[in-house]
Amino acid sequence: MPMLLVLLGAALVVGHFAVLRALPSGSQAATDFSVTVLILSALFAAVASVLTARRGAGRSRLAWAVLAVGMTGWAFGESTWAYYVSIRQVTAPFPNIGDFGFLFIVPCTVTALIAFLGVRRGLLRVVLDGLVIAGSLLFLSWVFVLESVYRAGNLTPLAKAVSAAYPLGDVLIGAVALILLPHAEPGRRRSAALIVAGAISFSTADLGFAYLNQHSSYTCGSVIDTGWVAGFVLFGLAAVMAPAQRPGTAAPTLPVLLYLPYFPLALAILAAIDRVGSGAHLDLFSAAVLGAVVLLVLARQLVALRDNSALSRDLHRVVSELREREEQLRHLAYHDPLTGAANRALFHQRAADRPTGPLTVLYLDLDGFKPVNDRLGHAAGDLLLTEVAARLRAETRTIDLVARLGGDEFAILLAPDTDTVDVLVDRLRDRLTQPFRIGAETVTIGVSIGVAARENDDDTDTILHRADAAMYVAKARGRAERQIPEIVS
Confidence (pLDDT) at 335: 92
Say if residues 352 and 361 touch (Cβ distance below 8 Å). no
Print burial letters for 141-165: b (CB count within 10 Å at least 16), e (below 16): bbbebbeebbebeebeeebbebbbb
Asked if 2-314 and 344-483 have one fold, the answer is: no
Please give the chain's pLDDT, 489 residues, in tens: 567 777 887 888 888 888 888 888 778 888 889 889 999 999 988 998 898 888 877 778 888 899 899 999 999 998 998 898 888 888 888 788 888 888 888 888 888 877 776 655 565 676 677 778 778 877 887 777 667 766 765 667 787 777 777 777 777 777 777 677 666 666 677 887 888 788 788 878 877 776 776 666 677 778 888 988 998 999 888 888 876 555 444 445 555 556 666 788 888 888 888 888 887 778 887 888 888 888 888 888 888 788 788 888 888 889 988 998 988 888 888 999 999 999 999 999 988 887 777 789 999 999 989 888 888 898 999 999 999 999 999 999 888 999 999 899 999 998 766 567 888 898 999 999 999 998 888 999 999 999 998 877 778 888 899 999 999 888 887 644 434 333 222
The angle, 0 to 180 degrees and rounded to 10, between the axes of the packed helices 421-432 and 378-395 is 150
Confidence (pLDDT) at 260: 67
**How do the domains of the chain map onto residue ranges?**
2-314, 344-483
Q: How far apart are CA 147 and CA 205, in angstroms?
A: 17
For the entire predicted model, the pTM comes to 0.53
Confidence (pLDDT) at 339: 92
- Provide the sign of the torsion angle of the four alpha carbons 252, 255, 258, 260, taken in this order: negative
Confidence (pLDDT) at 364: 95
The domain defined by 2-314 folds into Rhopdopsin 7-helix transmembrane proteins (1.20.1070)
- Kindly report the number of other CB atoms within 10 A of residue 204's CB atom: 18
- Give the closest residue to 81 by CA, choosing from 101, 109, 67: 101
Confidence (pLDDT) at 9: 79
- Give the closest residue to 169 by CA, choosing from 99, 217, 116, 239: 99
Confidence (pLDDT) at 488: 27
Q: How far apart are CA 360 and CA 346, in angstroms?
A: 16
- Provide the sign of the torsion angle of the four alpha carbons 34, 74, 155, 136, taken in this order: negative
Confidence (pLDDT) at 481: 46
- Provide the sign of the torsion angle of the four alpha carbons 205, 207, 210, 214, taken in this order: negative
Say if residues 138 and 76 touch (Cβ distance below 8 Å). no
- Which CATH number applies to 344-483: 3.50.50.60, 3.30.450.20, 3.30.70.270, 3.40.50.300? 3.30.70.270
- Neighbouring-strand partners of residue 361: 413, 452
Say if residues 288 and 135 touch (Cβ distance below 8 Å). no
Residue 22 burial (CB < 10 Å; 0-12/13-18/19+)? exposed
**What DSSP assignment string belongs to 304-365?**
HHHHHHHHHHHHHHHHHHHHHHHHHHHHHHHB-TTT-SB-HHHHHHHHHT--SS--EEEEEE
Say if residues 391 and 431 touch (Cβ distance below 8 Å). yes
